[in-house]
Amino acid sequence: MNYFSNNPALKFQLSHPLMQKIVTLKEQNFADKDKYDYASRDFEDAIDNYEKVLEIIGGICAEVIAPNAESVDHDGPLVLNNRVQYARGTQENHEALAQAGLYGMALPRQYGGLNFAMIPYVMGGEMVSRADAGFANIWGLQDCAETIAEFADEEIKAEFLPRVCEGQTCSMDLTEPDAGSDLQAVQLRATYSEKDGIWYLNGVKRFITNGDAQIKLVLARSEEGTNDGRGLSYFVADNKHDHTVKVRRIENKLGIKGSPTCELVFTNTPAKLVGARRMGLIKYVMSLMNGARLGVGAQSVGVSQAAYDEAIAYARERRQFGKAIIEFPAVYEMVSMMKAKLDATRALLYETTRFVDVYKAYEGLEASRKLTPEEKADYKDFQRLADAFTPMLKMFSSEFANQNAYDSIQVHGGSGFMKDYACERIYRDARILTIYEGTSQLQTVAAIRHVTTGTYLKQIRFYESQTINPEFDSLRKRLISMTNLYENSVNRVVESKNQEYLDFQARRLVEMAGHIIMSYLLIIDATRDKEDLFRKSAEIYLKFAEVETRKHATYIKTFEVENVDIYKIV
Amino acid sequence: MSFKIVVLAKQVPDTRNVGKDAMKADGTVNRAALPAIYNPEDLNALEQALRLKSKIEGATVHVLTMGPARAAEIIRESMYRGADGGFLLSGREFAGSDTLATSYALACAIRKMGKVDIIVCGRQAIDGDTAQVGPQVAEKLGMPQITYAEEIIDCSENKITVKRRLERGVEVVKGTLPLLITVNGSAPACRPRHAKLTLKYKHAATPTEKQDSGSDYTDLYNSHPYLNINEWGVNDIEHDIQWLGLTGSPTKVKQIENVVFTAKESKRLTASDAEIEDLMKELIANHTIG
């Protein structure tokens, strides 16, 4: 079994027409090929390299990480002498991936990375999550290296990035007891010592994933006397395990139990400033957050896949009333709907990732030369699309992962409620997805701007204009009328000029846009695909999306602005 | 200081995942129905070789495999995991070899490699399960051998210390180099492919493969000599033709029987001392145990 080779939907995404643009921008004339013996030589070679490496990840996922998932969930990590000790399986997973050189995939080659685009990196995340969603956090924290690569000075990059590629783990230390969603309230203190020429960190962090990592990115208050986001800076600390960073405890969680969630005490921890002072929250954390949300998108799709895998295997095997339960309409409808949600969010995941890839590649290019006005405009377009799609992806994929995990247990019936089947672990693991890195409610806050400014509508019209297989014409007609409903609903809400009313209806509007976008993506994928991988899901998802869109449209149409008051609780 | 480690590896049909069409009507293995894989215990051997390489400065690991053109895959797979290169011994003259002819051919190839410090191979291949090739190669080369190895504990000053896994325990033995080690399946699993090595070596090919693929990477092979996998035919080794292939193979298959396992009678015991004691007596009496 191999999570890459045995999943044609992933390979399909690597064949997307935009890949040519992404690889070309990313590899900058394949200049690295004479410097590094593992660098790609041309476009085909680059895609082949992606596939080769994804095959390695897919193998480790199926052969090491997935078989360890149950014992990792059971054993969990421990705290011994203020240090975290991973579960045995976690350690094995980490060693296998490190040994295979899979940390730092997206980093530039000069620091020991593979200089891969985000697409294959996100695919790796999806596969690791399918094997064990909790472990995906430890692997996914290599995102921190991206932030260092993007914003830190050369000296810090040279010090830390090669270590990430060798398999040292990272953590991003943001949250504090009184600063969760509201990070402006961060209090951990950073003081500069003129004598030592270095910063020292003092304070407490809470809910820190993989908090005992070797390399820590810490958000801290560097400007004494301030109390908002503008007094925060970003630091990198080398956790030398000399007890300047102590793990006070780890949380006992509902799910993702293998991933240690730590409470940390910093006592005169030496640290270096990343980028410019005061930009910690405003610029760097926001950038890091977008990457993390994309990561949760990948994690969610992986969990959806795992939930679906378990459900369909059980439904085929389990016999009642003389036949396999998959033959009953109530069951096959449920399982096909799971597949449709999985395929829809996967399409959205890779569409979003491509947008991120293009704008990040431009960002990289801009560092080495001036962009032409056309390139600059293209860069901004893709950045806007990435900004618009990332929160939508995070919201939908995490909500659907939970729905699929719920249905997976339902397909298993009473057995699914027992610890004997993986679906109960998947159900618990899924629950955090709609919460961390910004709740679904906060994703709506980020996404609604793109409803009112028309980013989504413009992109929907773009999808509408794409060439599709004539057999999907009737589906497109339905999507056009759904789009009209969406436009009317948006106008109705915006015309009220009432911010609270807009906030109240925001989720419904974002969902309408999302349903339409995912339906289009499935039709476009089904048009391009030769193996008939997505046709069923396209039709099934559109039926579901149509009803959901109409439901929301009706709700908004019959809802008066003052009706909001009925819901208010004082 | 150079230190040459040679791993003997074989490409085998994956007999662990046997479907119903795994055997042909005439009782021979249907190779087309089974995927070709790296013999599992040879992977354990490769891991031991790679660990040894990391401990000894200047050590190299080369893989020697005998088989058809596609067996070059075994050499590439080894390079993805850390081997420096390899040799494919291929040609119709080697076809139909039993263990005697195989070990003869391998021994001839090893002699051609010059000074070799250690030969490491898997205990046995899953298609034949003979566990004869390793020991026979050692005999033909006049080398000492350590079989059933689980771990190479130490290697210094021409001596090697090896832990062996035996039926009822373990044994630690010492040997003098050069020597041959056969590695047990209980030894640590082989490391995964390494991403950078995989990308570095993915175009590695034998002359035959390069010819067949019509690859447009000619410059690549000239500028990157490590991408050329050695391919030896019968004329590249010093040999006596009568010991090769079918003529050199005294083993003749008399008959192959297709055995279908069926469940026999079952017995249900209650958890009482008396019944367990009765069962023990019965098993000892019919020599199932003891």
Q: Cite the residue boundaries of each domain of chain A with CATH code 1.20.120.470.
A: 448-567
Most B-contacting residue of A42, A53, A116 (CB-CB within 10 A), to test interface: A53
Residues of A numbered 102-131 whose beta carbons fall under 8 angstroms of chain B's beta carbons: which are they?
A: 102, 105, 114
What is the spatial distance between Cα A26 and Cα A15, in angstroms, rounded to a whole number?
A: 16
Q: Cite the residue boundaries of each domain of chain A with CATH code 1.10.540.10.
A: 1-140
Which candidate from A39, A48, A59 shows the least CB-CB separation from B192? A59
Please report whether residue B168 resides in a domain.
Answer: yes
pTM: 0.92
Buried b (16+ CB within 10 A) or exposed e, A290-305: bbbbbbbbbbbbbbbb
Please report whether residue B255 resides in a domain.
Answer: no
Give the chain A residue whose CA is nearest to the CA of B80. Answer: A100
A83 sits in the region (left: phi over 0; alpha: psi -120 to 50; else beta) called beta
Contact B191 A48 (CB under 8 A): no
For domain A170-278, give the fold: Butyryl-CoA Dehydrogenase, subunit A; domain 2 (2.40.110)
Reduced DSSP (H G I as helix, E B as strand, rest coil) percent helix, strand, coil of chain B, to 5 = 35, 25, 40
Contact A48 B202 (CB under 8 A): yes
Q: Cite the residue boundaries of each domain of chain A with CATH code 1.20.140.10.
A: 279-438
pLDDT of residue A33: 92
- CB of B163 within 8 Å of any CB in chain A? no
CATH of A279-438, one of 1.10.1740.10, 1.20.140.10, 3.40.50.620, 1.20.1740.10: 1.20.140.10
Q: Which residues of chain A have pLDDT under 50?
A: none
Give the chain A residue whose CA is nearest to the CA of B193. Answer: A100
Which candidate from A39, A96, A102 shows the least CB-CB separation from B195? A102
Is the CB of residue A522 less than 8 Å from the CB of residue A344? yes
Query: Exposure of A121 by Cβ count < 10 A (0-12 exposed, 13-18 middle, 19+ buried)?
Result: buried
Give the chain A residue whose CA is nearest to the CA of B82. Answer: A100
Most A-contacting residue of B54, B84, B193 (CB-CB within 10 A), to test interface: B193
Distance from CA of A301 to the nearest CA of B (A): 24
Give the chain B residue whose CA is nearest to the CA of A34. Answer: B223
Range of the domain at B147: 3-243
Residues A465-520 pLDDT 10s: 999 999 999 999 999 999 999 999 999 999 999 999 999 999 999 999 999 999 99
What is the spatial distance between Cα A270 and Cα A244, in angstroms, rounded to a whole number?
A: 8
Contact A38 B192 (CB under 8 A): no
Is the CB of residue A168 less than 8 Å from the CB of residue A112? no
CATH number at residue B83: 3.40.50.620
Which candidate from B192, B196, B220 shows the least CB-CB separation from A96? B192
What is the spatial distance between Cα B177 and Cα B158, in angstroms, rounded to a whole number?
A: 5
Q: Which residues of chain B have pLDDT under 70?
A: 1, 20, 25-29, 215-216, 290
Query: What is the complex's ipTM, to 2 decimals?
Result: 0.91
Please report whether residue B177 resides in a domain.
Answer: yes
pLDDT of residue B253: 80
Please report whether residue B265 resides in a domain.
Answer: no
Contact B199 A114 (CB under 8 A): yes
Structural domains counted in chain B: 1
Please report whether residue B279 resides in a domain.
Answer: no
A373 contact partners, CB below 8 Å, separation of at least 6: none
pLDDT of residue A176: 94
**Selection from B145, B229, B226 nearest residue B183 by Cα:** B145
As its CATH architecture, domain A1-140 has Orthogonal Bundle (1.10)
For domain A448-567, give the fold: Four Helix Bundle (Hemerythrin (Met), subunit A) (1.20.120)
